[in-house]
């Protein structure tokens, strides 16, 4: 089945350190990126499917502006160009805008600002990369992301396990995006644990008009709604045994019958299920049907708890800060170093969902402050002391985790710019690369 490729960018930059930093950051943001170090190497970019081009004005074999002018002369359509220029070349950048360039940034530029400009351009072209393109920056989540395309192409059923709030539905939606045959393939989600049995039956299978009091019209069940798409059953472990029997029949026969109806309706769908429970244990206890368990557990993906992948905590926190700022038209807030430490020290029993609510609450109550402190994150009724991270590791394991956390924080603080992070940590760039390789620290899109 065809998969949705990430939007691709073209980078033309001869500076190795800056090029590395830009590539790492944009991959982190969900883009594919091709990096050219000269105008000559990038001469054929008009034939490629790029969503945007980021080009330095000064290049070793001429100028990005000269390349742009030549491409304009040869090509009928070009992707939008953003130029990187020195302060002394602003007049030239303005001329490029008049020629048709999309935008420019002046050195030293704010990387976040450049990312926002690219987001805006790709969104306008309908190919924006969003937070849903990535599940995290930690090694466990990158392994899941690398597995998803293969699973999506080959598996019609997947069981996603993990604690409440870890992002199981996000995994299901990513599987759906890679598995769908057309853009309009439906994704239908229902929480089996949130509805009483009578309502769940009507939700799953639909009902005919007059089937019961209040049934004033015919309603399609989620199986019918998900026809030729994906049905996501969340918290399937909370379903009663009676409903499990009906569900098993629908899965096996690929047909359903509405409540109050008699005619079987054929349906075609992929089934993704999720649960925070141990289904195998429920089978042993007689609370979950064994035949249904084997039906839904063909392939299993376990999403680890947030406390097991602490590299993701600050990554998510900053995304939620940026999301809140965009939605409310405010400047994005930053985290005080002590706030970062507090976030990393907390066990997050509610996982990513709890972290998001924590960030939103802090932004609402920040009272105009642009920097969030631990007091803003945790109110009087709760603190990092309420759910400290358990630590039963050996001294060596603790030291390794501390080193990993310090490097990950440094990279995050310096927007994954290797030279700046190495200087910040007081080590060489080579030493930093070696430690990142040893500790399996890499931005999304890099295989560990």
Report the CATH number that the domain containing residue 395 is assigned in CATH. 1.10.8.60
Q: What pLDDT is attached to residue 48?
A: 80
**Residue that finishes a domain, picked among 282, 304, 326:** 304
- For residue 109, being part of any structural domain is answered with yes
Which has more pLDDT, 409 or 269?
269
**Residue that finishes a domain, picked among 304, 335, 360:** 304
State whether 232 and 360 are in the same domain: no
State whether 149 and 94 are in the same domain: no
Q: What pLDDT is attached to residue 448?
A: 40
> What integer is the mean pLDDT of 257-273?
89
Q: What pLDDT is attached to residue 394?
A: 64
Confidence of residue 3 (pLDDT cuts 50, 70, 90): very low
pLDDT digits (tens, 9 = 90+) for 87-141: 666 777 778 887 788 888 887 777 877 887 887 777 655 544 444 457 887 878 8
- Taking the C-alpha atoms of residue 232 and residue 171, their distance in angstroms, rounded to an integer, is 11
State whether 354 and 233 are in the same domain: no
Which DSSP state fits 308? G
State whether 238 and 109 are in the same domain: no
Residue 404 · residue 432 · CB < 8 Å: no
Which DSSP state fits 87? G
Looking at the structure of the chain, the number of domains it has is 3
State whether 197 and 297 are in the same domain: yes
Q: What pLDDT is attached to residue 388?
A: 54
- For residue 240, being part of any structural domain is answered with yes
Residue 363 has pLDDT above 50, yes or no: yes
Beta sheet of 81-85, edge-to-edge order: 32-36, 8-12, 52-56, 81-85, 103-106
Residue 153, domain CATH: 3.40.50.300
pLDDT digits (tens, 9 = 90+) for 48-73: 878 899 999 888 887 888 888 888 87
Which has more pLDDT, 370 or 355?
355
- Taking the C-alpha atoms of residue 426 and residue 435, their distance in angstroms, rounded to an integer, is 13
- For residue 444, being part of any structural domain is answered with no
Q: What pLDDT is attached to residue 202?
A: 85
Q: What pLDDT is attached to residue 380?
A: 53
Give percent above pLDDT 90 in the chain.
27
- Per DSSP, the three-state class of 277 is coil
Q: Could you identify the residue written with the tokens 């089945």? A: 1
> What integer is the mean pLDDT of 307-329?
87
**Residue that finishes a domain, picked among 129, 158, 177:** 129
Residue 398 has pLDDT above 70, yes or no: no
Residue 16, domain CATH: 3.40.50.2300
State whether 175 and 265 are in the same domain: yes
Beta bridge pairs of residue 54: 11, 82
Q: What pLDDT is attached to residue 397?
A: 66
State whether 94 and 208 are in the same domain: no
Tell me, letter by letter, the H, E, C secondary structure of 186-226: CEEEEECCCCCHHHHHHHHHEECCCCCCCCCCCEECHHHHC
State whether 90 and 25 are in the same domain: yes
State whether 153 and 291 are in the same domain: yes
Contacts of the segment 4-7: beta carbons below 8 A, 24+ positions apart: 4/177, 4/178, 4/180, 5/32, 6/30, 6/31, 6/32, 6/129, 6/133, 7/31, 7/32, 7/51, 7/122, 7/127, 7/128, 7/129
Q: What pLDDT is attached to residue 123?
A: 62
Domain hosting 367: range is 307-438
Evaluate the CA torsion angle 276, 355, 7, 443 in order and state its sign: negative
Confidence of residue 381 (pLDDT cuts 50, 70, 90): very low
State whether 351 and 298 are in the same domain: no
Residue 338 has pLDDT above 80, yes or no: yes
CA atoms in the 13 A half-sphere facing the CB of 308: 11
Q: What pLDDT is attached to residue 422?
A: 83
User: Taking CA 130 as the corner, what is the angle to CA 126 and CA 132, rounded to the nearest 5 degrees?
Assistant: 125
Lowest-pLDDT range, 110-124, 157-171, 224-238, 333-347? 110-124
């Amino acid at each position: 089945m065809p998969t949705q490729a990430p939007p691709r960018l073209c980078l033309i930059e001869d500076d190795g350190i800056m090029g590395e930093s830009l590539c790492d950051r944009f991959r982190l943001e969900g883009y594919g990126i091709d990096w050219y170090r000269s105008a000559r190497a990038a001469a054929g970019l008009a034939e490629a499917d790029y969503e945007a081009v980021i080009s330095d004005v000064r290049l070793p074999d001429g100028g990005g502006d000269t390349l742009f002018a030549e491409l304009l002369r040869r090509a009928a359509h070009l992707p939008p160009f953003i130029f990187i220029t020195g302060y002394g070349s602003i007049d030239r950048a303005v001329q490029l805008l008049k020629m048709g360039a999309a935008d420019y940034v002046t050195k030293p530029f704010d990387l976040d600002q450049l990312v926002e400009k690219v987001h805006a351009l790709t969104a306008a072209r309908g190919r924006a990369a969003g937070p849903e393109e990535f599940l995290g920056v930690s090694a466990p989540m990158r392994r899941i992301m690398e597995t998803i395309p293969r699973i999506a192409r080959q598996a019609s059923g997947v069981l996603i396990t993990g604690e409440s709030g870890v992002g199981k539905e996000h995994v299901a939606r990513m599987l759906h995006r890679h598995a769908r045959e057309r853009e309009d393939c439906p994704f239908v989600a229902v929480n089996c644990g949130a509805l009483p049995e009578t309502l769940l039956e009507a939700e799953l299978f639909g009902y005919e008009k007059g089937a019961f009091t209040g049934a004033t019209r015919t309603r399609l069940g989620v199986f019918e709604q998900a026809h030729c798409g994906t049905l996501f059953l969340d918290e399937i472990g909370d379903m009663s045994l009676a409903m499990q029997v009906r569900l098993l029949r629908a899965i096996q026969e690929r047909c359903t019958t509405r409540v109050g109806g008699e005619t079987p309706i054929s349906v075609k769908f992929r089934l993704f299920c999720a649960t925070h429970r141990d289904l195998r244990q429920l089978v042993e206890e007689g609370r979950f049907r064994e035949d249904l368990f084997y039906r839904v557990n063909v392939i299993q993906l376990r999403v680890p708890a947030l406390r097991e992948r602490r590299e993701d905590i600050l990554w998510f926190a900053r995304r939620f800060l940026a999301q809140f700022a965009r939605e409310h038209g405010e400047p994005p807030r930053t985290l005080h170093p002590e706030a970062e430490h507090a976030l990393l020290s907390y066990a997050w029993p509610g996982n990513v969902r709890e972290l998001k609510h924590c960030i939103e609450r802090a932004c609402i109550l920040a009272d105009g402050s642009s920097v969030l402190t631990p007091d803003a994150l945790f109110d009087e009724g709760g603190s990092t002391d309420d759910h400290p991270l358990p630590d039963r590791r050996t001294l060596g394991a603790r030291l390794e985790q501390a080193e990993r956390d310090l490097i990950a924080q440094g990279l995050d603080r310096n927007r994954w710019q290797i030279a700046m992070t190495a200087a910040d940590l007081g080590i060489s760039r080579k030493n930093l690369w070696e430690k990142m390789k040893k500790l399996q620290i890499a931005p999304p899109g890099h295989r560990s």
